[in-house]
Amino acid sequence: MDTANSHEHGAGHDDDHGESHGHGDHPKFLAHHFDTPLQQFDTAKLGMWLFLAQELLFFAGLFVAYGIYRNWYPDAFSWSSHQLDPIMGAINTVVLLFSSLTAALAVRSSQLGQKSKTSMWLVLTIICAFIFLVVKYFEYEHKFESGLLPGGHFHPHHLHVVRAMHGAAAAGIPDHSGTFFGIYFMMTGVHGLHVLIGIGVMIWILIRNNRGEFSAQYFTPVELVALYWHLVDLIWIYLFPLLYLID
């Protein structure tokens, strides 16, 4: 982002943007408690990285729980994983990877002051997010219809086994399989909530971009929402193999 920073930070030394040492002459996008656009950009970026760090700590707890229970009940996790549809999981993986690309292109377009292209890439990112949720809806619907639910609600019926587990009979359901689905719904549900939040924030950024609030001198919100979206993508890259590809 060095090139990007030079665009935005350069505004701090450009009298054409109304910058001066007096707070009353700050550019419109510069908050009153900052002296320069550089200071505002660095502060916002640091705040976002701190937020992303605590998000990683939150998901780390879920991954630790996953590791513990998988170690305790390996057969249940293996059998239960085979009840998931890896094709749907792979589709969602490709969709999110593509959405990370479009989010990055939205940032680049905003850095260059290309308003229409920024909107286009944001819209494509939002569409990808909706596609992800639609695929996840159909996955959830199948689990509810088949009784593949968490804990005590685990009452499988009309199972459509994706593939046999090491040649074992499909009817041989290991104990504690409901534990896997408890973790599955928790991890994918929390991740899905983050996707939904991302959609809302990106729509807000899209509206602001269409209003002309961003330029080559000010694009911080676009970059921050893209950073958040990259985290959403990163978390799914770990969830997909851990949940869908257990041998």
Hey, what are 112's tokens?
A: 């260059």
Q: Give the C-alpha separation, 168 to 160, whole Å.
A: 15
Cα–Cα dist 6/50, whole Å: 23
Mean pLDDT over the full length of the chain? 82
Q: Check whether 89 has a pLDDT greater than 80.
A: yes
pTM, full prediction: 0.80
Residue spans of beta strands (DSSP E) within 38-89: none
Assess if residue 205 is contained within a domain. yes
Whether 13 maps to a domain, the answer reads: no
User: What are the residues facing 215 on neighbouring strands?
Assistant: 218
Burial class (CB in 10 A: 0-12, 13-18, 19+), 103: buried
In-domain check, residue 45: no
Within-domain flag for 63: yes
Q: Residue 46 above 90 pLDDT?
A: no
Decide if 121 contacts 109 (C-beta within 8 A).
yes
Tens digit of each residue's pLDDT (9 = 90 or more) over 183-242: 999 999 999 999 999 999 999 999 999 998 888 888 888 999 999 999 999 999 999 999
Would you mind telling me the total number of residues written for the chain in this entry? Answer: 247
Q: Is residue 80, in this structure, part of any structural domain at all?
A: yes
Three-state DSSP class for residue 215: strand
For residues 21 and 85, the model is more confident at 85
Contact 159, 83 (CB under 8 A): yes
Main-chain dihedrals φ then ψ at residue 215, nearest 5 degrees: -155, -175
* Separation CA 78–CA 244 (nearest Å): 9
| Structural domain includes residue 42 | no
Counted domains in the chain: 1
pLDDT band at residue 23 under the 50/70/90 scheme:
very low
What number of CA atoms fall less than 13 Å from residue 40's CA on the CB side?
Answer: 22
Domain-embedded: residue 16:
no
Is residue 167 assigned to a domain? no
Q: Is pLDDT of 169 > 50? A: no
Domain that holds residue 94: 51-153+175-244
Give 109-156 pLDDT, tens digit per residue: 999 999 999 999 999 999 999 999 999 999 999 888 888 878 777 777
pLDDT on residue 29: 58
State the CATH number of the domain containing residue 147.
1.20.120.80
**Predicted pLDDT of residue 114:** 94
